[in-house]
Structure 1
Amino acid sequence: MTLDIIRHPHLAGTQHGFFARGGGASSGVYKGLNCGFGSSDQKEIVQINRARAAAAVGVAPDHLVGVHQVHSAKAVVIEKPADQGEEADAMVTATKGIALGILTADCQPVLFCDTLAGVIGAAHAGWKGALDGVLDATVAQMESLGATRANIAAVIGPSISQRNYEVGPEFRDRFLSVDAGFARFFLQGNGDRFQFDLPAFGLHKLKQLGVGQAAWTGNCTYSDPDRFFSYRRSVHQKQADYGRLIAVVSL
């Protein structure tokens, strides 16, 4: 089966893709391209899936690198394929032939590039990481390698949309304690519940950072089960586990 890859013109000049479920070797609740070793899927099958994603961006499987994602605001510089696995939620590199891979299942996968400087980045930006500054840290690390904010393009891939992201009042209060203006990212829901717009918040943060171009692909992970994995949907459906999508960028 052909891989289902979402690409974006802002990232032209890179090899990249937000990979959906299509074209993978996994089965059951992981059916499709599950790329997460943190799932309970068979490790050998996950390796096959990751190798397919690596091939799609033109790198060897061992040159598709990742970090141990922990919902932090930490971004690290990758200089060689061995520089991976530490606790962080974003990576940047200026090394050709390395692909940066971020795993998500509702959180925002964000791919970055400054093609003039030859610098790329990838971030896992859930609500906590986005609020705490993981996008800020990614841009700062790209600058450390020679990137310029005005030349950086950033694209948010498939993420949970506002209509499917219900949160409680304590969640909203946490955002408003940082900036009362963040209230605009919440719509009143049923009772004391709110609907949070994670991609809009991510775009706001990116624009605040002064990147030259920022966009969301517009895909909702929760509402399209045939195409995307979703942690929240798996919980609502009382599934034992869930697959992980991968977003990849390479020079």
Structure 2
Amino acid sequence: MSLIIPNWKAPKNVKAIASTRLDGFSTGVYQGLNLGSHVGDDLDTVLRNRQQLAQMAKMPSAPVWLNQTHSTVVAQVNQPTKQTLDADGLVTSQSGVVLSAMTADCLPVLLTNTQGTQVAAVHAGWRGLADGIVENALMTFDADLNRGNVIAWLGPAIGATAFEVGEDVLQAFCDADSQAIDAFRPTGQVGKWWANMELLATQRLNALGVTQVFASGLCTYSDPERFYSYRRDGVTGRLASFIWIE
């Protein structure tokens, strides 16, 4: 199985991976390692995919899964649970709790402090990112935490040459921060822009005092062999990024 190991400076007791669509048991439009149980794939097959992934990644427990709605809700979890939580971010300070963020173009953001005592997994679509999902995740960390001691990894997502957006998306970011314009390039069509989600997330993190930001640079849209992409394919599977404290 081809798993992505983040190239970042996380402490040794913090483990993180991101899935690809390679291997797995799903067929048809979900071909490969589909982890999404809500996309129309056979549920038993999805559960087999999830079990295989957990075994291959040597996870200490089954991941905590989310019912993601492009919100800014971040849930704190203290123990593994089979319940699917209504949130777009997870935070824990407990070892052995595997956090997940499911994506198929949106940006997965993994966070840890340098001490390896707190971690977070965030599903950041453009709406959640603009509305403050990353800010909410950091607010759930210890109040006295020096943000300079937070490390972030940005996983596979739709890239800056593939994510075409309208004026509404541009305005949502630029109204909050004029520097956000640096993350947009005109497509040549009136009112259409190419948006750089990695840069937008990095700007938000930097503004919060998080300067240790590592980006995968991987584009889901342009690599159909390795990644699912909702914008490219419509009906498709889901990837996920995971983080836990050993």
TM-score of the alignment, normalized to the shorter chain, above 0.5: yes
Matching residue's letter, 1:248: F
- CA distance in 2 between counterparts of 1:170 and 1:154 reads 27
Which residue in 2 is equivalent to 1:232?
Answer: 231
Partner of 1:79: 78
Cα deviation 1:158-212 (Å, max 9, x = unaligned): 0111110111223322323333332221111122111111111011111111125
Gaps of 5+ in 1: 236-240
Return the offset for 1:12. Answer: 4.5
Given that 2:11 and 2:116 are in contact with CA atoms closer than 8 Å, whether structure 1 keeps it comes out as no
2:189 is the counterpart of 1:195: no
Counterpart in the other structure of 2:129: 130
TM-score, normalising length: structure 2: 0.92
Normalising by the residue count of structure 1, what TM-score does the alignment of the two structures yield?
A: 0.90
| Residue matched to 2:45 | 45
User: Structure 2: which amino acid aligns with 1:156?
Assistant: L
Whether the aligned pair in 1 keeps the contact of 2:126 and 2:169 (CA below 8 Å) is no
**Structure 2 alignment gaps of length 5 or more:** none
Cross-structure match for 2:102: 103
Say if 2:91 and 2:118, in contact at 8 Å, map to a contact too: yes
Out of 171, 174, 186, the position equivalent to 2:172 is 174
Equivalent pairs, count: 243
CA contact (8 A) 1:122 1:249 kept: yes
RMSD of aligned alpha carbons: 1.8
**Match status 1:151 vs 2:149:** yes
Q: Name which of structure 1's ranges 111-120 and 127-136 shifts more when overlaid on structure 2.
A: 111-120
The residue number in structure 1 matching 2:59 is 59
Identical counterparts, % of pairs: 32
CA distance in 1, matches of 2:7, 2:199: 17
Bigger drift between 153-162 and 2-11 goes to 2-11
Question: Distance between the aligned counterparts of 1:212 and 1:191, measured in 2?
Answer: 34
Judge conservation of contact 1:64–1:81 (CA < 8 Å) in 2: yes
Q: Structure 1 residue aligned with 2:160, among 159, 162, 169? A: 162
